[in-house]
């Protein structure tokens, strides 16, 4: 059943590329046409809902998380980044970046073993190149699939039809997080463990961006439009593998907003 749903979803996203040719980033041209906000009214409503949830739940939790010792927060962040390699590496391969896949595999092995599950970023101290996350949405973009319309997802935030499809491919196709060997046995991580990593990633990200988001909201005439612009610019930058002007999204979850 999963394969049927996955195949259908891919067919939909690929067929949407025909219409996306007039509104999305269906190629890696230097001047991609702007992505249409086809569902703006609904998107703004979802955006308002997310803001309410953020102010009531996520922001207070993130502020509490910031009170933990920096060593704890740093180690947690390192572990989460290390785990994300299990999504990045197969996407490196799918994009034909075999050398980068090899480097990231080496980084993952070193940090998982010598770095104790990634708590310590030993690979960085050894001079490994800067780590860049990849996901299935980016891979679809590299393959020429258009972004389609802009979407705002409940809780997850900014996305596009293409990036949402990429997230579903990750989940329905068997998330790499499950394929981790534990205690020397080929066991699967329990779904609750996977969800815990996602929740921790969100909290870790939000704790790093409390001030940035506050400043962005304060200085924006239209906060919704500013967030949308940042997301779409960042996704195009990631697909082209350009040097970042800002760091924003990964797999539907806000990572960080940092002006370089």
Phi, psi of 160 (to 5 degrees): -140, 170
**First-to-last C-alpha distance (Å) of the chain:** 45
Quick one: pLDDT at residue 186? 43
User: For every one of its 260 residues, what pLDDT tens digit does the chain have, with 9 covering 90 and above?
Assistant: 444 444 444 444 444 443 343 333 344 445 567 899 999 999 999 999 999 999 999 999 999 999 999 999 999 999 999 998 988 999 999 999 999 999 999 999 999 999 999 999 999 999 999 999 999 999 999 999 999 999 999 998 999 999 999 887 766 654 555 444 444 444 445 566 667 777 888 899 889 888 988 999 999 999 999 999 999 998 988 888 765 544 443 333 444 443 33
Look at residues 21, 28, 99 and name the one whose alpha carbon lies nearest to residue 241.
Answer: 28
Whole-number Å distance between alpha carbons of 146 and 163: 10
Quick one: pLDDT at residue 52? 96
| Structure-token match 């180690």, residue found | 75
Whole-number Å distance between alpha carbons of 93 and 51: 36
Quick one: pLDDT at residue 172? 62
Whole-number Å distance between alpha carbons of 190 and 197: 11
Quick one: pLDDT at residue 93? 95
CB 231 within 8 A of CB 214: no
Whole-number Å distance between alpha carbons of 114 and 237: 33
| Structure-token match 């572990």, residue found | 79
H or E segment to which residue 254 belongs:
strand 253-254
């Amino acid at each position: 059943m999963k394969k049927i749903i996955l195949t259908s979803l891919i067919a939909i996203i690929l067929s949407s590329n025909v219409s996306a040719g007039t509104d999305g980033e269906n190629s890696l041209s230097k001047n991609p046409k702007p992505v249409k906000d086809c569902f703006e009214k609904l998107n703004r409503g979802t955006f308002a809902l997310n803001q309410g949830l953020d102010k009531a739940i996520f922001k207070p939790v993130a502020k509490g998380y910031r009170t933990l010792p920096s060593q704890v927060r740093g180690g947690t962040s390192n572990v989460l980044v290390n785990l994300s390699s299990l999504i990045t590496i197969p996407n490196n391969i799918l994009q034909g970046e075999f050398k980068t896949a090899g480097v990231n595999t080496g980084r993952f092995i070193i940090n998982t073993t010598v770095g104790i599950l990634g708590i310590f970023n030993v690979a960085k101290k050894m001079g490994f190149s800067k780590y860049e996350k990849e996901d299935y949405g980016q891979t679809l973009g590299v393959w020429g699939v258009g972004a389609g319309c802009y979407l705002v997802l409940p809780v997850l935030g900014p996305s596009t039809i293409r990036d949402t499809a990429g997230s579903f491919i990750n989940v329905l196709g068997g998330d790499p997080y499950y394929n981790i060997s534990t205690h020397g046995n080929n066991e699967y991580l329990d779904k609750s463990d996977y969800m815990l990593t996602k929740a921790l990633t969100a909290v870790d990200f939000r704790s790093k961006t409390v001030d940035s988001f506050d400043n962005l909201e304060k200085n924006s005439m239209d906060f919704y439009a500013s967030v949308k612009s940042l997301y779409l610019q960042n996704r195009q930058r990631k697909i082209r593998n350009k040097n970042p002007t800002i760091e924003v999204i990964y797999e539907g979850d806000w990572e960080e907003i940092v002006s370089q």
